[in-house]
Amino acid sequence: MGASPFARCARARDVDDDGNTSRARRRSSSRRARPRARDVGRGKRARVDGRAAAGLVRRLARAMTRARRVASRLGVAEGPVVKALGFALGWALVYAPSRACACAAGAYVGGLVAACACAAGAAWAVARASSRTAGHATVGLALSVLPALLTATRELSPWRRGARSTVDGARTGAMPNEAGEADAISLVDVAVGDFRYDLMGEFHGTLPLEDDEYVFKAGVAAAGTFCAVPVTHANWTTTAPVPMWYVCDNSWAGHRNCTRAYEGDYDEKTGWYGVRSLRKCLRAPVEALEAGATELHFLHLDFQPRFERKHDVSVRALMRASVQHEVVIDLAAPRVGWNPIQEPCCAALAKKGGGLVLGSVIVFVVPLALLMWRDVARAARARDRESARGFYTRAELMRASRSRRLE
C-alpha cells in the first residue's frame, strides 16, 4: 500500500536532517581525530624506540652468548684467558684517550670509562649469575684501572717528555739568549749575595684573573702572593737589566708580605698559613749555597702544567720591583722556580714516583696472576673428578661387585 504524501515528506526531511547531521559530525570528528592522530604517532615512535632498545639488548645478549661459547672452547684456560683480556681492555681504555690528546685529562677520562665498564660488567655478572665469562672479564678490568691510570699519567709528566731545552753551567753575567724559554737552567759560580732580596718585587694576585675579551676569566675566587727576586752578578748595577728572576708563590694562600716571609717574621703557630711555603721557597737557594752547593738547578715556572700559568702572572711581580726599587726589567729574561731535586734536569725527576707506579702494578698484577692460577687449578681438578666418575660405569661397577662376591 502506497504511503501518503505527508509520510513521504516527513521521510525526506528526516533524510535531509540525517545527512546534514552526518556531515557536521564528520567535520567535528575529523577535527577531534587530529590530536588523537598525534598521540598515535607518539605511541608509534615510542614503540619504535622500545623495539630498537629491545633489539640492542638482544644483540648484546647474542654477542655475550657467542663470547661464552668461544670461551667455553678454551676449556681449562677459560678463566685465565678472559681475565687477561679484561686486564688488556682496561689498559686500552685508559691509554687510548691519553695518547689521543697527549694530556693527563685523557687518562682520567679513560679511567672513568673503565670504571663505568667495571660497574656494567659487575651488574651483568650479578644479573646473569650463570655467566662466568662476564665475571672473569670484570675482575681483569677492575685490576687494571689503577695501575694503567698511574702509568699513563706518569708517562705524560713534563719530566719524561722528549722535547726539553736545558741550559747547563750558565752564569748570570753571561746568560745565553735561549735561557728565557728553557725548561731548566743550571747556574754555576753563583753566591748568596747574587740573590738580591732587598730588591724583591711583591705582587698580590686575585683569581679569577683579568681577561682582555671577557673582563675576567672563569674560576673560583682566590688570592695569592708572588715574590720575584733578582738574580744578579758581581758587576751588575741597577741601570742594567736584571739577567734572571727567581720567583716564589704561596699557591694562592692569601696576600702575604714577601720580606717578612723571607726573614721569618711571623708566628709559627698561628700565622704560618701562606707564609711558611713562601719562606721555604725563598730560603731554598740560600740554604743550598750555605750547605756548600756549587751548582743550583732551576725549572721554568710553567714546566709542570697548572690550571693558572704562573709565568704570565709573575710579570706583575717584576713590574712591582721596577716601580718600588727602580730596577730595569727585561721581559725576555728567564723567570724560574726551584727544582725540588737539585740535579740536572730531568733524569732524576723522571725517576721520581717510579716506585709508587711499580708498587701499584705489582699489587694488582700479583692478585691477577694468583686468580688465574686458581682458575687453572680448579678446572684441572674438576676435569680429573669428571674423568674419575666417567670411568666407573654401571656395568663396570656390577662386574666389580661380582668379582668381590666370588672372592
Q: pLDDT by residue (tens digit) across 38-94? A: 454 555 555 556 677 677 767 766 766 676 666 566 666 677 878 888 888 888 888
Per-residue pLDDT, 3: 53
DSSP strand pairing (244-249 vs 335-338) = parallel
Distance, in Å, from the CA atom of 50 to the CA atom of 56, rounded to the nearest integer, reads 10
Per-residue confidence at 278, pLDDT binned at 50, 70, 90? very high
Per-residue pLDDT, 71: 59
Per-residue pLDDT, 260: 92
Q: Is the pLDDT of residue 272 over 80?
A: yes
**Which bin fits 245, alpha (ψ -120 to 50), beta or left (φ > 0)?**
beta
C-alpha cell at 17: 536532517
Q: Is the pLDDT of residue 303 over 60?
A: yes
C-alpha cell at 404: 668381590
**Contacts by 250-254 with C-beta closer than 8 Å and gap 24+?**
250/224, 250/225, 250/274, 250/275, 250/277, 250/278, 251/224, 251/277, 252/205, 252/207, 252/222, 252/223, 252/224, 253/224, 253/225, 253/277, 254/223, 254/224, 254/225
Per-residue confidence at 367, pLDDT binned at 50, 70, 90? confident
Distance, in Å, from the CA atom of 257 to the CA atom of 225, rounded to the nearest integer, reads 8
Distance, in Å, from the CA atom of 249 to the CA atom of 195, rounded to the nearest integer, reads 16
Per-residue pLDDT, 164: 62
The candidate with the shortest Cα–Cα distance to 331, out of 225, 196, 180, is 180
Residue with cell 672513568: 112
Q: pLDDT by residue (tens digit) across 254-271? A: 899 999 999 988 888 888
DSSP strand pairing (184-188 vs 295-300) = antiparallel
